[in-house]
Amino acid sequence: MYFPAYRPRRLRRTEALRGMIREVEVNAKDFIYPLFVVPGAGVRKEISSMPGVFQLSQENLVKEAAAAHELGVPAVILFGIPEEKDAVGSHAHRADGVVQRAIEALKRELPSLVVITDVCLCEYTDHGHCGIIVRGDVDNDATLKVLAQEALSHARAGADMVAPSDMMDGRVGAIRHALDEHHFQNVPIMAYSAKYASGFYGPFREAAESTPQFGDRRSYQMDPGNGIEAIRETRLDIEEGADIVMVKPALSYLDIISAVHAEFDLPVAAYNVSGEYSLVKAAAAKGWVDGDRVMMEILTSIKRAGADLILTYHAKEAAALLRSC
C-alpha cells in the first residue's frame, strides 16, 4: 500500500489519534528511584553536578521516598555513604550501617515501597575500588565473601531485593548461596549484568564519594566496544541465579538493552545514569533543550529498546509530569 492510498499522517493529526496508536508508553511504575543516604540528621545536600539530587540523612530519605511513592514510583535503590571508610569496606555489612538503618526506616514508614539495595564496596573502601585490593589489583574471590556478607546484612535489615553492581566474576552465585543458606531464598537479585566502564558515571562518583584513588575500573567493568560479551555476562548471571538483569548505562547502550531483551526471557532493567541525567539538566539550564520533553523522550527510548524497569534520577519529576498530563 503506497501513497496516495496510504497516508501515515492521517493517524498523527490529533493527540487522541497519536495516543491510540502509540506503541510504547512510559509509566511511573516503570521507575526505580536511586537515593543516596548519609549518616546524621537534617542533611539534604545537593550534588553540584546533579541538580535536584541530594545526599540525604535518614529522615529526609524517608520523606523523599514517600514523595516519589505517592506519585506512583514503586521502588527505590539505596546507595550508602558510611561514616568511615577502610581498605576492606567493613562498614558495608555492619548491622548498624547507614544503609541497613535506612532499610529499616523505609520498611517501617513505607511498607508498600520496594526497597532495593546496591551491593558493592566502592562507597565503603578508602581506595574507591569495588573490591579488596591485593598487590595493587582487585582480588575477585576475596571480594565475593564480603559482597555476600553485605547482601546478607541488607536482607536481614528487610531489603526486598539486592543488586550487585561490582562486576566481580561469580558474585551473583555467591550472593544467591549466602541468601539461600540463611533462609532468604525469597529475596530476588537484580544483577548489573552488562555494566560498562563508562565516562557517564562521573557525577555519581561525587554523589557516592566513590572516585577510585588510583587507576580505574576497566579491569572489572566492560569495554564499551563489546556487545557479544554483554550476552555472555548476562547468561552467566542468569545461570548463577539472577532474577532481573540490567544494562548500564542506558542511553549509549540501547542496542545492548535490545539484544538482552531479545535473547533472554527475564525482566530487563536499564540504568539511566548520572551523566545522562546531568547532560539533560545542564542543557535545559542553558535553554538549549526543553528539559521535560528531552527527559521523557530519553525514558521512552529506553523502554522502547526493551527495558521493563528504568533506574533513573528523573523518577520523581517524570512521575509528577506523567500525573499532570
In contact, 276 and 250? CB cutoff 8 Å: yes
Of residues 63, 107, 195, 281, which has the active-site annotation?
195
Per-residue pLDDT reduced to its tens digit, 217-259: 888 899 999 999 999 999 999 999 999 999 999 999 999 999 9
In sequence order, the 6+-apart residues with CB closer than 8 A to the CB of 291 are 280, 281, 283, 284, 285
Alpha-helix runs per DSSP H in 82-199: 98-109, 140-157, 171-181
317 C-beta neighbours (distance < 10 Å), count: 16
Rounded to two decimals, the pTM is 0.96
Per-residue pLDDT reduced to its tens digit, 249-269: 999 999 999 999 999 999 999
Angle formed at CA 109 by CA 95 and CA 153, multiple of 5 degrees: 20
228 C-beta neighbours (distance < 10 Å), count: 8
Output the average pLDDT for the chain.
Answer: 95
Of residues 248, 281, 303, 316, which has the active-site annotation?
248
pLDDT at residue 219, rounded to an integer? 85
Does residue 29 have an active-site annotation?
A: no
Per-residue pLDDT reduced to its tens digit, 133-147: 888 888 999 999 999
Does residue 195 have an active-site annotation?
A: yes
Asked whether residue 22 carries a pLDDT value surpassing 90, the answer given is yes
Distance CA 314, CA 104 (A): 25
Per-residue pLDDT reduced to its tens digit, 178-199: 999 999 999 999 999 999 999 9
Q: What backbone phi and psi angles, to 5 degrees, belong to 84?
A: -135, 145
